[in-house]
Amino acid sequence: MKGEGFLTRNISALTRAMESILLSEDLARAPGLLQGLDARIKVVTFLLFIVTVGLAKSLPVLGGICLLVLALAFLSRIPLGFFLKRVMLFIPIFTAVIAIPALFITPGDSLVTIAGKTVITEQGARTAGLLVLRVVDSLSFGVLLMLTTPWTRLLGALRWLRLPSLFVAILSMTYRYIFLLLHTANNMFMARRSRTVGRLSGGENRRWLGRTLTTTLAKSHHLSEEIYLAMLSRGYRGEVLALDNLSLRRRDFFWGAFALVAASVLLWLNLQ
């Protein structure tokens, strides 16, 4: 039925989104290489690697960094298919918007010719490759950091780096209540499907969806007021306190030394 198809698709999409969030939290607590490191040293070293990616001007060096990320993901017990799907989600959009035009508009030596006219230049292909690999490597480090670090510890590391407390609090609340919003919307779709008998027209589905969105917005506004009052009653004065204590151990110093040496070697190879 049309109504059933509409509801089933939305219920399935919302359920998959929630499962993805839960799986990410499970991976962040798995007994892997990066999961055992302090969140602060991970943030600092991953920023170092991202800066290295931005400075790299060699395709082999960027390819080597990509292999390094995959090796770190494997040692951290992250399924490579799960990891690559999240990294490659934005690459086709980026490639279509920026990298592909660079193939044709960058002047240089002829690489592909059609009817005696240069279509793609060697410099254009190199520029497009650099753009794509830089985005892949930078995004891979960001995704790897998110998948191997519990959200509360990551926020604690950002606060340790002197990010404004308001910014960290907004990030924390956004992450927590996006999940709550998904759960609420999923319950609404499930309730609607369990009470649906017969066929539903497109107009009925749109009217129901409009009413659902209005109700959700009203609930969100009311919930935000209650949450803020609850925070004030429990002593909130603009600074979010975490129960997790961050502490550096021997493995963190070894990882920091490895990251520094690896970044230095990559930059040295980039100059060759």
- 255 with 135, same domain: the answer is yes
Residues shown for the chain: 272
Higher model confidence: residue 27 or residue 109?
27
Cα–Cα dist 134/62, whole Å? 7
Residues 141 and 252 in one domain: yes
> In this predicted structure, what is the pLDDT of residue 27?
80
Rounded CA-CA distance 107/124 in Å is 7
Residues 43 and 175 in one domain: no
**DSSP H or E run through 249:** none
Q: Which tops the pLDDT comparison, 135 or 23?
A: 135
Same domain as 177, residue 162: yes
Same-domain status, 112 and 141: yes
Q: Rounded CA gap, 81 and 210, in Å?
A: 36
Q: Same structural domain for residues 210 and 139? A: no
pLDDT at 2: 45
Q: Please tell me whether residues 142 and 256 are part of one structural domain.
A: yes
Domain total of the chain: 2
pTM confidence score: 0.75
pLDDT single digits (tens) 176-201: 777 777 777 777 777 777 777 767 67
- Going from the C-alpha of 231 to that of each of 9, 163, 173, 237, the distances in angstroms are 37, 21, 12, 9
| Nearest by Cα to 41 from 143, 136, 149 | 149
pLDDT (tens digit, 9 = 90+) per residue, 120-168?
777 778 888 888 888 889 989 998 998 898 888 888 888 888 888 778 8
Q: Are residues 228 and 94 in the same domain?
A: no
Calculate the alpha carbon distances from 136 to 54, 83, 114, 177 in Å.
11, 12, 31, 29
pLDDT value of residue 7: 59
Amino acid at 99: A
pLDDT number for residue 259 = 93
Residues 135 and 263 in one domain: yes
Q: What is the pLDDT of residue 264?
A: 93
Task: Supply the range of the domain harboring residue 135.
Answer: 31-150+248-272
Percent of the chain past pLDDT 90, that is, above it, reads: 19
Q: Give the pLDDT confidence score for residue 92 in this predicted structure.
A: 61
Residue 177 and residue 164 share a domain: yes
Do 14 and 71 reside in the same domain of the chain? Answer: no
Same domain? For 163 and 137 the reply is no
Spatial separation of the C-alpha atoms in residues 41 and 161, rounded to whole Å? 11
SS3 113: strand
